[in-house]
Structure 1
Amino acid sequence: MRLPVFSPSPAHQVDSAGQPLAPSKSRVLWLSCVAHAMHDGYTDMIYALLPVWQTDFGLDFAALSILRGIYAGTMATLQLPAGRLAQWLGSRATLALGTLLAALGYAVAGMSGGLLGLCVALAISGSGSSTQHPIASGAVSRTYGRNARGALSIYNFSGDLGKSALPAAISLLVTMMPWRHALWIVSALGCVIAAVIALFFPSIPRAAPVDADAPGHGRNNAGTGFPMLLAIGVLDTAVRMGLLTFLPFLLKAKGVSPSMVGTALALVFIGGAAGKFACGWLGARMGVIGTVLITEGGTAACIVAVMFLPLALTMVLLPFLGMMLNGTSSVLYGTVPEMAAPERTERAFALFYTGTIASGAISPVIYGFLGDRIGVHGATFATALTALAIFPLAIMLRSHLSPEERP
């Protein structure tokens, strides 16, 4: 029997019988994590650049909000087309091209001379970032099969690492050099990662699942259970973004200084990153529904506690609040493949991410209007009620899951 010869970027790997070889699981996972960290870092790097652009170009807050909206809008609306593109070009080529496009967008931003140039640059970068979530998460889920939940939690966690690292890096770089040069450096890093993906990301067969026990194998729940799963994801994102909108004002009312607000939010984000990792592991052992009920119930309880506890206890509670807020997302992402046939995994992830990203953009506006009507405490309490509204949806979702996914 001839042994397969390793090549860093084969179009098709086959064994001696001509059957596709299963791709390296660890290589798929870690390259997907690198892509996730890079793209999420690019997404949140904008927050660190907005003050710089405001000073350099004399932009008002409306213009700054347009810049952020353009990036998020293009990324959200192109998720589904990115999934379709992957069906034609393959996961590796689509992810590599998307990463290159996201990097080149920031290179163009470094050459821009005003608001119009920045808008075009961020639209380019956002278009490239639209490929990452559906393609990388779909590749991980197909490669790991029924063991994908734990792998997806690691993948999900890697995005938070990027959100922490790249904004911090660009903030440091702009103190050492002109901001345009700083953007070209992080753009060059993205180009390197795109090349690594193009060379080393394994080809994943699409005609059949890589694992015979892959999620959704032999059935397709996308028409029944998936809408409920999407609704849970939309509401969960609304709770998270709504609370983060009001949390600084709640802390300020308790006497927190402006400098300490950043520290308090950091505690929430640290807890959130840990929650994504831990709850993905917990979901694999307790089942989807049990974990969702625990995290959403814990979220509602923590929100109410933060509203009424004294400052010292509130600060202690913030990491646990972050764990509950972000923990559900890992469980939900890991359940998406369960709701779709293997060959439609990217499309299912694209739909799911489109809904949650749109919820993240719209929900703060809705809760903001509510806060103007009933006050900060009333609107914050409404986020806790939204978390509890997920309970009946989770219970209805139970019948659409395989027995091992139930509590």
Structure 2
Amino acid sequence: MDKAPIELDALRRRRFTLAACCGVHGVQDGLSAALYVILPTLAEVFGLSYAQVGVIRAVKNSSMALLELPSGMLSERLGERALLVFGLLCAGCGYLALAVSPGILAIALSLFVVGFGSAFQHALSSSIISNTFHGAGSRTALGAYNSSGDIGKLVFTGVYSLAIGMGIAWQGVVTGFGLTAVLGAAALFYVLRRLRVGGRPAVDARTESAAGNTGWGIRDRSGFTALVIIVFLDIAVQSGFLTFLAFLMLEKQVPAGLAGFAVVLTLAGGIFGKLGCGYLADRIGIRRSLVIAECLTAAGIIAILLSPTLIAYILLPVLGLALQGSSSVTYGTVSDFVSADRRSRGFAVIYSTASVASIAGPIVFGVVGDHFGLVPAMLTMAVVVLLPVPLSALLRPTVIGKYAK
């Protein structure tokens, strides 16, 4: 039985809950993003080819994508808290195993465990937040949650790069990351247990079935389907643009080191975009916010293509605001379409869709780039990102209330 909750007023209790979810998100996303800078080191140490690096990365991403939906369904029996702690613990153990891996098979297995743990995160934390912050405030809270992941990405990749530059062995840094996750799992369990958040549901699946409370809990199938399509298109463009942005800068005759910095600038803008767009959706409605974000993204991509190098770099953080901020609008809408007892499942569908889109986007736009060139591929992204605008009409006010303005 849980201990008595921390004696806090409702506002402070919500803030502690949000802080805990943001913390686990920052660590989990940081561990995932750190692989971008760890894999080149592993390739040099173990003599891995580009194809082998790609396979290793795919192992991690695939395990996460395959398990994200089951994690949401499993939380209906076990509760979000236990699974969040389990996921962070798995990710930490995967990193500890990576630090002592003797070869490619051990590396792949370690990263499979990391991906396995990463699957027990997004849908679960989003469900906790949407159940804790009711009404319009949930979008602002989810915006803060989304931005915390980007902060984690910058911190972990920055720490690794700095440590390697100072001559610290990669095994030591990776071990430190693993221990951070393990200790974080213990702290997360303590905080959420004291707050009585995300525990095992009081009504089990058998009782729900007998009461007729079955299914996916989707209140409007056409609207939720439209939301899934919007998320797929939105994330496909996000991942495609970030994948090929450095290549675009190389075509602008930017040195390789500075070309990669373009991605950092875009991600930095995305941190504020995820915060700002969630707040904007609470104030003017999700449909208006989505239209603004997607139109600004399309205009920003075209502006980057047409601008000289210096102006393009100045515009990148602004583009990042809209490019990544739109996800706070779409993710924050899930709770409007899915009943509270099935919310983890609904978020799992959305995050699984996003995972698939992040894999498909670079492939599709890469094929366009191979056949027609990088600039036409970028222009295709600018067109595709506008497709959610007419689809947003299906996010009807009759379904999601006054916040669908």
Shared fold, TM over 0.5: yes
Aligned residue runs from structure 1 range 381-400, under 5 A: 381-399=379-397
Residue 51 of structure 1 pairs with residue 40 of structure 2: yes
Q: Counterpart amino acid of 2:41?
A: V
Q: Out of 90-99 and 244-253, give the one that drifted further.
A: 244-253
Aligned residue runs from structure 1 range 38-77, under 5 A: 38-77=27-66
Residue 160 of structure 1 pairs with residue 150 of structure 2: yes
2:181 corresponds to which residue? Answer: 190
1:104 corresponds to which residue? Answer: 93
Q: Residue 388 of structure 1: SS of its match in structure 2?
A: coil
Task: Give the drift of 1:400.
Answer: 5.6
1:149 corresponds to which residue? Answer: 139
Task: Give the drift of 1:221.
Answer: 2.3
1:85–1:12 CA distance, 2 compared to 1 (3 A)? farther
Q: Out of 81-90 and 393-402, give the one that drifted further.
A: 393-402
Work out which of the residue numbers 22, 27, 49 in structure 2 matches 1:33: 22
Task: Give the drift of 1:24.
Answer: 2.5
Please tell me whether the aligned partners of residues 276 and 328 of structure 1 are also in contact (alpha carbons under 8 angstroms): yes
Please tell me whether the aligned partners of residues 105 and 121 of structure 1 are also in contact (alpha carbons under 8 angstroms): yes
Please tell me whether the aligned partners of residues 225 and 400 of structure 1 are also in contact (alpha carbons under 8 angstroms): no
Work out which of the residue numbers 196, 211, 216 in structure 2 matches 1:203: 196
Please tell me whether the aligned partners of residues 207 and 343 of structure 1 are also in contact (alpha carbons under 8 angstroms): no
Give distance in 2, aligned partners of 1:144 and 1:12.
22
Give distance in 2, aligned partners of 1:112 and 1:400.
55
Give distance in 2, aligned partners of 1:225 and 1:173.
47
Q: Deviations over 1:80-129 (max 9, x none)?
A: 12112222222211111111111001111112110100111111111111
Q: Counterpart amino acid of 2:196?
A: S
1:245–1:91 CA distance, 2 compared to 1 (3 A)? closer
1:346–1:178 CA distance, 2 compared to 1 (3 A)? same
Q: Counterpart amino acid of 1:188?
A: L
1:303 corresponds to which residue? Answer: 301
Task: Give the drift of 1:263.
Answer: 2.9
Question: Any stretches of 5+ residues in structure 1 without a counterpart?
Answer: 1-9, 15-20, 209-218
2:172 corresponds to which residue? Answer: 181
Please tell me whether the aligned partners of residues 92 and 203 of structure 1 are also in contact (alpha carbons under 8 angstroms): no
1:350 corresponds to which residue? Answer: 348
Please tell me whether the aligned partners of residues 22 and 143 of structure 1 are also in contact (alpha carbons under 8 angstroms): no
Q: Counterpart amino acid of 1:191?
A: V
Aligned residue runs from structure 1 range 358-377, under 5 A: 358-377=356-375
Give distance in 1, aligned partners of 2:398 and 2:185.
38
Give distance in 1, aligned partners of 2:252 and 2:101.
43
Runs ≥4 residues deviating over 4 A: 205-208
TM-score of the two chains, using structure 2 as the length reference: 0.90
Please tell me whether the aligned partners of residues 76 and 341 of structure 2 are also in contact (alpha carbons under 8 angstroms): no
Task: Give the drift of 1:51.
Answer: 1.1
Task: Give the drift of 1:30.
Answer: 0.5
Question: Any stretches of 5+ residues in structure 2 without a counterpart?
Answer: 204-216
Give distance in 2, aligned partners of 1:311 and 1:178.
36
Q: Deviations over 1:124-152 (max 9, x none)?
A: 11111111111111101101111211111
Q: Residue 48 of structure 2: SS of its match in structure 1?
A: coil
The sequence identity of aligned pairs, in percent, is 33
Give distance in 1, aligned partners of 2:62 and 2:13.
34
Over aligned residue pairs, what C-alpha RMSD do you find?
A: 2.1
Give distance in 2, aligned partners of 1:79 and 1:41.
18
Q: Deviations over 1:352-403 (max 9, x none)?
A: 0000011001110111111111111111110011011111111222356423
TM-score of the two chains, using structure 1 as the length reference: 0.89
1:135 corresponds to which residue? Answer: 124
Q: Out of 278-287 and 88-97, give the one that drifted further.
A: 88-97
Please tell me whether the aligned partners of residues 18 and 141 of structure 2 are also in contact (alpha carbons under 8 angstroms): yes
